[in-house]
Structure formats: structure tokens, C-alpha cells
Structure 1
């Protein structure tokens, strides 16, 4: 066979011989491998890139004319009309508006540097993630950026891993071998022999391999070099967990600012600074998915009469968003479908039915409920979805949909399952959620405190901590389930959920969802014939209005309605419960005598009804009413009486723990108001451990304010500053309060203001606090009346 010639190869050989160098000597001088130089001279590889060309010229010791001749020969070899074989496995054209991915590109650059230093084994990077993230764009970008660092070749193969028939490993091996200069009659016959042949060639070369769109480990393994100064970048929707010794890069959606930059680069309408809010809205609706953003930008750029607002309006319709994110032969739904069609039937069923889940994330027990499967089976199916990029892992045991993939799941659900099946699945999910809420919530009830006999639910609820974790994690699922139950008229179930979570709500008071729970429960109870339930849930509604929403007028009205209902049915316990909400509401309305009446009457009624928990709660309430009336010694006496009653009455363990901390705090608070700082400091330090153990951030913060005030008065400014600063951190996001504002006023005074200044500031603060509370309550009421409280 005649020798293959190349203008550059001939020029390089002539220059080397003129310099009196062997191939090995030139390789040593230039840093370019001997195999690569040999292939260049024989025309078996393309002309080198700029860096390699400069290294060869330096190694040859060429003068300016010699360098110019070598450069001209390289340009001629690269030209489209140059003779020689076609360039096989050439990377595709990269996108010109590539944005972001700085961290990921830096990882690839670092791996390339590592590959130049160590040749056994070469680094392998697996870029993986859900469809549409731009995995190929990243790999191609890296290939073009780094190709000069790999003078022996930058090779690309599309493995078509999500096609119905992926590229066989043997075919991929053939393409790579041909691209590396192996003649057809020299290619080995079997796949194993071809794989060994590839490894042998790559061991002596410095190549960059991009194996795009891999479908499985078996497709990739035969293509990996065992030695040589090479770098391999694999892209896949799967993590390819079976590959050992590889570095995996999980590709996330773009950052919001990157998404906006991409949209502006594609569509001129989006480049107008005045459209920034609409651009941000488009990027959110596209879920920051590069494929979706590129399609949205293309649709905008090809319609000059459109504004960004037009695009927002089209994408805002969830029923048509996927259709809007399609152009030409490219579409977001099409990309998702390639993964969906690879799923086994049971996993595809779970994928569809997960569209029923209202929350952003979920765990395996909920998935098992949707498909009526055992927990291990559900976990296996979830992992199938993760494997093909249709589901993301949120944490160790939780999963999350990308917003657009959720829409696709819902699309498949409505296309493939009849309406009665969908309704049955949704009903099963909602019932399971609410039944589990009742079981979990009753861990906190004095009369329960554990699992019911024979309970074998899917959720882990074996301890109080597990119950708390489940209730918090699944709140965005079980609250919508409660709404659905209320809309369906399942009044008793709604009331049961609210009753079961009564005690639990006290430990999660800042969650605004309780307001909706209580509103739904009150309406449900009013639809039932049981007046006692009506009184109970109206009292809970009043309590939430006080403790969570600062709606004090509304709270007193609801509390007294509950009181009258309880009087009607002759239930002293429910009367006492209603007054336990009226008392704090009147305190905040500065109706201290009314509050004192409510709590003293509540003591009598709770004692009559045999409710020891409520009795002590009202004793503490009497103490606070006396404190606000300025009768500090009497208040201290009532708080101490509460502690004595806790020792003598059979109060349930958890309420007793909470009430003890509250009474001890009340002693410290009353002594603080009386100006007895040393005694207040002693009392608050006794109360703090209980308050911390009870995990009530508001009470802990208030106690820290009391301790900070006492320390400041006793000449300990540094310690006082630390207490007040920590208290304000804990109170972030809570309802406004006198103590919080006192802490804010006191902090600057610790650096030099005198007692007179502090007294004046605190008096002004007290005068303004009531109006601020009233304003906040009105604002809260207006928001809730106009929007969904969830």
C-alpha cells in the first residue's frame, strides 16, 4: 500500500531530519509523544493545534522562517480542501452562547492537568443528570477549550444511550480506532480484541475522549483507556454507578442569574433591562433547565412582535407549558419521553402517580401508598427513576421532581390512567396521609404518647422524634390532603386531625399552616351535630388566633363563643379551655382585669371538670395577669403556687414539663418588672435549662432577654450583650413582643448610655408597642382574607 502523505507531515519530517533529530529525540525536546509525532509525519492524524505546533517548533529549534513554513503547512492540512482521510470522531460544534458551569468546567480542567502528570490510570469524569441540563453542551465546551492540551486527538462518540437501539460498544470501538489511524484491515475482529487494541494505542498517546449520551456501564467500559496521558469525559442521564474509579459530576439546573444570561443571549427582547422581572419569571417557569430556556428564547427571538410578557403568559399555563417548550424537532417533553420509555412498567406507573403528590419532595412510604406496594419495592422503583434522570434525590431518604418533569408526569397520568383510577389513587394517598397525621400527632397527647396497639403503618413513627420528623417533613402534603377532605365534606376526619395535632402544634407554633388547620376544623365541627366538638375546635381556633396570628379581638370573640357553647352543653372543662384562650388575648389588648377574671374563673372550672393540666395552666395565667397589673409579689406567689400544684396534682408528663418552665419563667419575669435584678437573674438561670429542653425558641429568647437585662443592671455588659444578641436571633420571624423591642433598645445602651436614657427609651417603647401590634394584626388579617393562608 502506498504511503499516505500530508503537507504538514512532509514538512515536519523534513524539518526534523534537517535538525538531525530522531523522532524520540524530538519527542523528548518538545514534550509531544513519539507516537503522535510519528502519526503526524505519516498523515495518520490531523495537523496539531497551536500549542502543540509551538512545542514542536521549539523542539526543532526553528528560526522565524522555519516556524512560518511549518505553520503554513499546518494551516493547509487543516483546510477543507486538504487531501487525506476525513476527520473521524470530530466533536460537534459547540453553542456560541454557553453560560455558567464554571465550577464543573474547573473540575474538568483540573482533571486534564492531572492527566498530563500521571498516565496510569487516566482520569474518567461522568457528567450525569436529568434530561435537558446541557450535559453534552458542557462536554463539548470542555473539549474545544482543552483540545490544544491533547495533541494526539480530541475524539467524540455519541453512544445514543437513550435511543431504542443504543450504539453497540463494538461499533464505538471501530469508530475510535479508525479515528486514531488504524486501517480497516488492521482492526481486530472481536469486541474484546478491539478494546485491547484501543487500550494499547491510547497508552502511548495524549487524547481527550468524549463519550456522549451513555446508556449503561457495559457500553462505556470497553472504551476506557487503561494507561496513557488521556482524559475521558462521559455524559449520561444515569450516574453509571457500576463504573469504578471515576469522578462523578452531578449537573444541577442553572443558577437564576445564569438562566437570565442565557435567555438574554438568545432573544434580544430579553436584553432590555426593563424586562428583568419578566425574564426572571420566564426562567422560573422553565425551571432553570437549559434546554427549556433555549427553546423559550428561540421562540421569542423568532417572533419579533412578541414581548417577554407574551412568553410569560404562554408559559404560565401549566396545562400547555410543555407544548410551548417545543420548537422544530426539539422539545422538553420529547427529551423526557426518551427516559420514560426506558422504564419497566411498574416504575413507569409510579412515575405517573407521583404527580398526585402536592409537595415539592416526598419519601418512599408515600410512593408505596400510591402504587400499593411494599416499601422495599417502592424504594427500588424510585431508584429506577433516579437512575434515568426523571427524579432527583433531595436527601438520604427524600426525592424531588424538577417542575417540568412533574408536568410531564401529570401529562402521562392523564393520558394513560382513567379518571376513576386517578381519583381512587388520590383518595388512597390523602387518607393515608391524614391517618398518619393522627397517629403521629397523638405522640404528643397526654393520654396517648405512643403508637396505638397493632399499628403497622409505612411511616417511621416508633419514637416521638420520628413522629416530629414525619409531621414536619410531610406538612406540605398532609395540609393539602386536609383541604381536600374538608372540600369533600369529611368533617369528622378534619376535626380528628386538628384534635390529634393540638399538643404537637405548641412545639411548632411558628408554622402558619396551623391557622388553616384550625379554620378548617372549626368549620368542620360546626357542620357536625356535636356541640362539644364545636366548643373544642372554636377554642383551638381562638388559641391559634392569639398565639400565632396576633388577632386578639377575633380571638376573644371566638373564645367567648366557645365558652357559651360549653356552657350550653354543661361542660366545665371546655369552658375552662375557652377561657385559656380568652385570657392571653385580653392581656395583649391590655384588658388586664378581664384577663384576671378569665384565668381565675378558668381555675375553678378546670378544677370542677377534673382537668389538672388546664388548672395549672390557668394558675400560671393568673400570675401573668397580676404581673401585668403591677402586683408583682402576688404574681410571684401565683407562679410558685403553680409549681406546688405541679408537684401535687397528676398532671401529664409533657404538659407538666412545659408548665413548670412557664411558671419558673413567670417568677423571673415578675421579679424583672419589680426591678429585683439579682433575684430575677437567679430565677431565670433556673428556668433556662427547662425552656431549652422544651425546645420553645420564643420562651428561650424571652428568658435570655430577662437574663441580659439583669446582667446589664448588675454591671455585666459583655454577658448582657451576648444574651440579647442571641435572643434577637431566636426571635427572627416571630410575633412582635415587648421583650424583643426592649432587647433592641438595650443593645446600643450597653456601649455607654446611662440608666436614665434607657428608662426613657423603654417608656417610649411601651407607649408605641400596642399600636404596632394592632397594625400588624390588621395587616395579617387583610392578607389572610385576600389569599390562601398556606
Structure 2
């Protein structure tokens, strides 16, 4: 398939690289535009996914929409990457069970799938990182394959394969060593030695380093030629020459204090490789590992230390500095020095009593010795620095929850949540492949609920191992209750909540308060302006507070200026609400609500000029608002905040701020409507009305009820809309409010029309137009005129339809907001098409396409596309018509609004029938029938039946066509609506 450009190429590539897992929209945006996305990035990604679904065979099933983004759904044999990983995993099992030949076969199949770099380096930083990781997986598999072939006795036959691999990856020392060994075994000692000289010169020229100790040892063994050199082993490195260091005391003691290494260690492979490389290169002295509690810092350090042990024959030392141990104080450096000196052989009489003396002795005993030292759970720099002074020839790994920035010359590695594949690796290795393979979806959900944290995953798998009758799905169900999540992720000795609490307890009181209050925010991301309102401080102070929490990994930073909790940390923060006073919570929530009402007012003022404004916050001092000076910046702000703000309306209502919640709900409905997110529109409108009723605010009651009626109507919930209209009309009459009465008459006319009562609908709409005109309500008059145009067209009065739509278009030019301009132009185009004036219709549709695309509602744009298809087809431009039909369906399907879907599917079906694709036309009309029937949208039910009759006759199924035709005529007759001309021709041909 040919791509439509770089955007499609990158989006599809990233989805495939993470097949089976959700890729968030923000991650896709970063992949496409890196650090400079345009304001329309989110909209462009949605359009790109829709276009990919259309262009790829079976694309609708292949790319699934999830809450946070999209997921590629592929089965076995559909994606080389998945097949590669499965074959490598199978080979690992074969090796473990002593079947090397079977492992060679599986690795051969896996490596044969490799096609080279992803996008050949044109994918941008995000995809390049994923591609680099993928290439590393391939090289690891290739090295293991060559290792196994050497182990089963291959040599001469392996040389050519290894030469090709070394040529492609000349700095890969393990491959070079395997080539040297294969050459030596096949009797080519000189060629093997020459390979060492080549790589030595290459490493010196390219990187300024010498070959590794393992490769040098192999070179020496080949040079001596006395016995066959052993094959190298990734898990059992070649032991370097003995360290000449002498223990300062008389005893030659080489202690090993390392805790046991997990036999089922999984995940963190890139970090492990990096640390092993740094520890074995002889140049790196100190490495720090920082990360949130439960991220597996200690486990990673110990695992790496076991791999590095052979490089440090003078001893391997480990000490838990107790920086985050419940009920214990952090160990002082002089106490640690004394403890470690005893392990090295010092007697109590040799160890001074004073701190300075102990540390001086530690420096003298450790100078020039090849020691490996792990300083685990460090709390601050003062605890660590004195212990590093004497480690001139050793290697130190420091772990801590915060980065000790005052330590100079230290290489830091930050770890957080694991990648989903790594989490599944832990589940597979601890529970067994069969148990995980039996419930793959539940396994992914379990990893997600555990936040991809090793500690949480270990606790969860321990519970499952101890309860063999539990399924993964059962445990997922228990973890889905957020109030129980942290309780479930605890055992007798380990607890995620305790781990997080230890990080929280060492914070100063001001930071503890900030942490607690930030947990009140209902969203995933929070910026400095919202945090300032919540915390009651300046934006600079709020940002400093969040940066401090970021330093100790209690917050994450998904993007510059944005901060977020890890899911499990957020659950812990919300548990702390109980320890926060009611007054403090109320004050914080009031400040945040004031901020969001003012901020949404500001954004709506730019995007929807002309809307009625209300002064409701009265906050003192006024909140500092985000810098949204242009419509593009306001839309970008809404793109980010709309994920959380609907939930905050509910929070405001439940917390006792009903009036603010009602006005915030009202502000959110504008961008939700513009985006076509009508389900959330209706949900927010319902909460907004509840808040207005509770607040007893008559103004909020009026607009909230009207907005809910509109939401019901757009979703096809016509009977619920009618109930709201009845209440609204009663209130309008009681309040003597003709302006409001006109709005409800308009809605009542549309509901009657949609339900098939066209004459009544027309009557109410004409009354609504008159009342709106008398009260100078231009926007509502234009909406009523658009609906009146549709009803007149259905009744066969094309002249009245055109006149009503033309008046609506003229009114929209005078309306400051102008958000209904595209809808009025579409209605005018439909009226012209119905009257046979395709040129006038084309002119109207062209004006829609000339509007700012960002301001167009998806439903309006979808209708424009399908009407363009109709006009293009009538003009003989069939290919162009098909293009517009595809774009229309791709836009309307994700909206989930059945009235809109049925209308566009019926027009699309008619277009396919005209071009002779009757099977596709019938499928579209059947879908339209189901959608329209489910909401009693009778006009479109009749249109779907008429279209099905046409398509069935075109397919030669005359009996079915007769059935559809009769049912269609019944509906048209009941509504007083003339049947479409196409149906009449169909009937005439049939007869």
C-alpha cells in the first residue's frame, strides 16, 4: 500500500511497533511532530487514523479506538515483529530445557524475519528510539544463534554468516569474538588473530577505547594455541586476570555480600546492558539509579552486580543505607565504613572509634582495589560522599528515590514504569507461559493496573501463585476497585502503599501538603496555573513545588510544563484526603473551580464570540490564567484539559460548589459540541442541570435544561428530549420569557419531525421562527430555519426549503459566533440538490470547505463531504465521489450519533447504488436502518428501506426489493412525505 505522506507513515509505524498495546494520542503527536506539534495535531491524528482505516483492507477491525488512544489488533502470522518475539521466546525455553538444535531452528526463523532499520532512519526521534531497541533485540537473537551453533560444533560453515554480521555491525565485539572462534576452530588461526587486530584499531579510531577484557582474553588464548578457547557466554562472562591488589591487613579476604539474584528476573534489559557495560569498561567509577519506590532499583542493582562480580575479584560489597526503611533512621557513613571494613577483614581493634578515623581507614583499605560496592536506598549526598573517596579502582552503584545532584562525576540512570512488553515478561516468567497465554487481555489489564511497576507486579503474581484457583481476570476485577487497589497490592512483607508512603514521609510539611492537595485534581495532567489555584500560591511557587515532587519521583513530567501522578501514586494521594481537613479541601477545590470557570470563559471568549457571558466566580484575588491569546492557543488548551474537566464538574457538584459546577459545565459544552463529542456533551449537560437545580440558580436552570434537550436530540433520544422541552416550555410561560419559548418551540418542532410527524413539526418550527425573530434571537432563529428547511424538503416543498436555508445562511453572517454557518450552508446545498440545482449546491458546499477547518464540527464536515460526493457523481466525477464518501463515513462513524450516521449512510448508499455497487449500498442502508430504527428517526428509516429496495433490485433479488418497497411506502404515506424519485423509478422498472 502507498502511504499518503509522512504523517500516515509515522502513525502506522508506531502503532505496529506497539501492536496489541494502546498508543496514546499524545505519543502519536510526539512521534509525528516531535517537540513542535501544530495546534491541530490531535485533530490531524484522528483524521489520519480514519484515513488508514479506510485505505487498509479491514482497517476498521485492525485499528481499535481506546479511551486514551489507538491499538493495532493483529493475530498470529500477521506481524513479523510479533512472530520474531515469539520465536525468540520459544528458543529461550528450548535452551533452558536442553534442546539447543530446536533453539537454533527457532532463532534461525526469527532472524530471517529481519528487514533492516524501521523507516531507514526517517521516522524521527520517537520511532528511532523504538527502532534502535528493536535492532538491539535482533542483534541479541543473532548473537545467541551464533553462540548455539558454536556450542553444537559448527565452525567452518558458520564463518561466512559471521563475516556478513560483522561487516554490518563492525563494533559488535561479541560477534567479532564468535568469528575469531569459528576461524580458529576451522584451522584459520592467523585469520582469527587478524580479526582482533582489525577490531582493536577500529575501536581505538571510532571510540577511543580498547577491546573488552573478554575479547582480549580470547585473543590471548588463540595466540597461545595450546588448547581450544571456550565459547563466550552472555550470562557467564569470561573471568579477567586476577587483580594484583593486596589487602592492607594480613588476611586475603574477598567478601561477597550480594543478596540473591532473582532467578526469574525480567524486564530492564536495556538498563541492565548499559550498567554491565559501564561496570566492565574500567572507566566508570560511580553509577546512580534513581526512581520512584517500587520501580525495582535495588533488584536491578543486585542483578547487574551478579553479572559484574567476576570483574571485581577483590570483593563485592552491599549495604542497605536504610534511607527509606520503616521505623529506622538512615545509616551514618562512619557506621557503614566500620561495617564494611569488618567484611574486608579488619578487626575491632583496628577500627577507630571516631568517625573521621573510620573513614580514613576505609579510604586506605579500598584504594587501588577492584571492589564492587552497592550503596542501596541512599537518602542524601552526605550519606554517600564519604564512602566514595577511597574507591579509586572500584565500581559503585548508588540507588535512591531522588537524584543526588550534589554528587559530581556520577552517571545517573532514572527508571520508572516498565514498557508493557517488559511487564508481560515478568508475568510470564513468574506465572508461567500457559497461564498468561490463556488470558492475554487480562494479563495486559493486570500489568496496566499495576502501573507497570515491578514491585506491584511481583506482589500480584505472588497472590496468583498462592491462589491457583484465582484467574487473572478475577484479580483484575478486584484491582479495578480503586478504593481497594493499594490494599490488594500488599503482602505480609511488601506493600506498594508502604513504599510510596516512605517517599511521602521524608518530604517537608509544605511538600506533603502540596502532594495531598494535588491528589484532589481529577485529571491525569496538571499545569502550573491549575496547581497554583489548587495550592493557593503563585504559579512560580506551584511549579517549584511540583519540581520538588518530580525530583523524588512522586510526580512525572509527560511534557514540558505538565506534571502527572503515576496511577498508583495517585491512588495513594487520594487516600490521603482523609487526613486532609475538610476546610483545607474545600478551600483548595473552590480555588480550582474558580480557576477553571475563569479559564474556560477566557478560552470560549476566543473560540465562540457572541455567546452570553456571566460573572460567577467572584474570586479574590482573581486566578492567574494560562496564556491563551489566540483561538489556536485556546483550542490547544481545551484539547489538553477536556480529558479531565467533565469529571471535575461532578467533583464540584459533590463537594458543594453546585453553582460553579453548573457554569463550568455550560462552558465545556461549546468545545464538546464543536468536536462532535456528543455523548460526553449529554453527560456533562446532565450533571450541569443537576448542579443548577441544587444551586437554585434560575439562569443556570434555563441554559442547563436547554443544553440537555439539545444533547438528547443530537443523540436521537427524542422522547427524553420531549420531556425536557415540556418542562422548558412550562418554565418559559411561567417566567413570561418569549425568547426561551422560541428555543423550546424550535426543539419541539425538530423532535416531532424526526419522529415522523412532519406537519406538526413544520407548524412548531414556523412558530419558533416567528418568536425568535420577534425577540431578535438570530442564532436560534437560524437553527429553527435550518430544521424548517429539512422538513419542507421532506414534504416536497423545495422552494420553501431553499428560502428557509437562505435566510438561515444570511442570519449566520450576522451572528458573531458563526458556529452554525456550515450547518446552514449544508442545508441550503441539500435543498438545491432536491430541487435539481446542482451548481448552486456546489457553490454552497464550496463555501463550507473554504471555512476554517478547525471551527467545523465533524458532523457538518462529514455531511459536506457526502453531499460533495452526490454532486460530483451527478457531474460524472465518480472517483472523486468515492473519495468524498470514504472521508464522510470515516468522520461520522466515531461520533456514535445514530441520527447523523443514518443520514450520511443513506446518502452514501444511494451513491454506491448509482455506480452499480449494490452489495455495498445494501450494507450501508441496512446499517442506516438499524441506527435510525434504534432512535425512531422515522424519515431515515423510510430512506433506508427505499435504498434497500433499490440495492436489492440491482442485485436481482426482486422479492426482497418488493418487501422493502412496500414497507418504505407505508412509512412515507404515514408521514405525508412523497417517496423519492429513485424509488418510483425502481417500482416502475420492477413492474
Answer whether TM exceeds 0.5 for this pair: yes
Query: Which residue of the partner structure matches residue 611 of structure 1?
Result: 777
Do the aligned partners of residues 462 and 532 (structure 1) sit closer, same or farther apart at CA in structure 2, a change above 3 Å counting? closer
Cα distance in 2 between the residues matched to 1:91 and 1:570? 83
Which aligned pairs between 1:69-218 and structure 2 lie closer than 5 A? 85-88=252-255, 91-105=258-272, 107-108=274-275, 122=284, 126-145=288-307, 161-162=323-324, 201=368, 212-216=376-380
**Structure 1 equivalent of residue 804 of structure 2:** 638
Q: Secondary structure at the match of 1:133?
A: coil
Please tell me whether the aligned partners of residues 122 and 226 of structure 1 are also in contact (alpha carbons under 8 angstroms).
no
Query: Which of 854, 861, 864 in structure 2 is aligned with 1:703?
Result: 864
552, 568, 572: which one pairs with 2:718? 552
- For 1:95 and 1:684, the matched residues in 2 are separated by 66
Alignment of 1:738-753 (within 5 A): 738=902, 740-741=904-905, 745=909
Q: Who is 1:515 aligned against?
A: 682
> What is the Cα deviation at residue 594 of structure 1?
3.6
Q: Is residue 853 of structure 2 the alignment partner of residue 686 of structure 1?
A: no
TM-score by length of structure 2 reads 0.60
In the TM superposition, residue 556 of structure 1 has moved relative to its aligned partner by: 3.3
For residue 563 of structure 2, give the secondary structure of its aligned residue in structure 1: strand
Q: What is the CA–CA distance in structure 2 between the aligned matches of 1:248 and 1:601, rounded to whole Å?
A: 73
Structure 1 stretches lacking a partner, 5+ long: 1-27, 33-47, 779-790
Deviation at 1:91, TM superposition (A): 4.4
CA contact (8 A) 1:390 1:401 kept: yes
The answer to which of 395-404 and 443-452 deviates more is 443-452
Shift of the alpha carbon at 1:336? 1.8
Q: Judge which range, 600-609 or 464-473, deviates more.
A: 464-473
Q: Partners of 1:499 and 1:634 in 2: how far apart?
A: 34
Tell me how far 1:572 sits from its aligned partner.
2.1
Match of 2:746 among 573, 580, 585: 580
Report matched runs for 1:13-92 at 5 Å: 54=218, 56-63=220-227, 85-88=252-255, 91-92=258-259
SS at match of 1:128: strand
Equivalent residues in 2 for 1:373-772 (5 A)?
373-414=537-578, 416-419=579-582, 421-422=584-585, 425-426=588-589, 429-430=592-593, 433-434=596-597, 437=600, 441=604, 444=608, 446=610, 456-460=622-626, 462-463=628-629, 464-465=631-632, 467-471=634-638, 473-475=640-642, 477-487=644-654, 492-501=659-668, 503-510=670-677, 512-523=679-690, 534-547=701-714, 549-646=715-812, 651-654=814-817, 657-674=818-835, 676-690=837-851, 692-734=853-895, 735-736=897-898, 737-738=901-902, 740-741=904-905, 745=909, 755=914, 757=916, 762=921, 765=924, 769-772=928-931
Deviation at 1:604, TM superposition (A): 0.8
2:494 aligned residue = 330
| 8 Å Cα contact 1:322/1:332 also seen in 2 | yes
Count of residues in Structure 1 that have an aligned counterpart in Structure 2: 705
Alpha-carbon shift at residue 622 of structure 1 (Å): 2.6
| Contact map agreement 2:556 2:563 (CA 8 A) in 1 | yes
Give a deviation string over 1:574-603, Cα, whole Å, max 9, x none: 122113333443444344434433332222
C-alpha separation between the residues in 2 aligned to 1:763 and 1:635?
29
Determine the structure 1 residue equivalent to 2:182. Answer: none
Paired with 1:197 and 1:714, the residues of 2 have a C-alpha distance of 92
- Structure 1 CA distance for aligned equivalents of residues 382 and 222 of structure 2: 43
Partner of 1:787: none
1:699 CA drift (Å): 1.5
1:140 deviation in Å?
Answer: 3.3
- What SS does the corresponding residue of 1:393 show, helix, strand or coil? strand
Structure 2: tracts of 5 or more residues without a match = 1-195, 201-211, 244-249, 938-991
Q: What displacement does 1:351 show?
A: 1.4
> 1:49, 1:148 within 8 Å by CA — same for their partners in 2?
no
Partner Cα distance (2:915, 2:198) in 1: 82
Q: Distance in 1 between matches of 2:464 and 2:373?
A: 36
1:653-695 per-position Cα deviation (integer Å, ceiling 9, x unaligned): 22xx323333333333334445555553443222212151424
The answer for the alignment partner of 1:775 in structure 2 is 934
Q: CA RMSD in A?
A: 5.2
- Describe the SS at the equivalent of 1:380: helix
CA contact (8 A) 1:173 1:195 kept: no
Change beyond 3 A, Cα 1:391–1:577: same
The offset of 1:377, in angstroms, is 1.8
CA 1:334 to 1:505, structure 2 compared with 1: closer, same or farther past 3 Å? closer
Tell me the equivalent position of 1:14: none
Aligned pair in 2 of structure 1 residues 57, 773: CA closer, same or farther (>3 Å)?
same
CA pair 686-106 structure 1, distance change in 2 beyond 3 A: farther
How far does the alpha carbon of each residue in 1:439-496 deviate from its partner, in whole angstroms, 9 at most, with x for none? 6555535156899999831331653555555555444654344335545776544544
Q: CA contact under 8 A between 2:214 and 2:240: conserved in structure 1?
A: no
CA distance in 1, matches of 2:396, 2:909: 62
CA deviations on 1:86-136 (whole Å, 9 max, x unpaired) are: 334664322111222344445557767xx85xx8x7497654321101123
2:524 paired residue number: 360
Q: Contact 1:31–1:55 at 8 Å: present in 2 too? A: no
Comparing 331-340 and 667-676, the one that deviates more:
667-676
Tell me how far 1:227 sits from its aligned partner.
Answer: 13
Q: Aligned partners of 1:55, 1:179: CA distance in 2, in Å?
A: 36
| Cα distance in 2 between the residues matched to 1:676 and 1:229 | 88
SS in 2 for 1:653: coil
Determine whether 1:349 maps to 2:513: yes
C-alpha distance in structure 2 between counterparts of 1:576 and 1:233, whole Å: 74
Using the TM superposition, give the Cα deviation of residue 179 of structure 1 relative to its aligned residue in structure 2, in angstroms: 10
8 Å Cα contact 1:577-1:614 kept in structure 2: yes
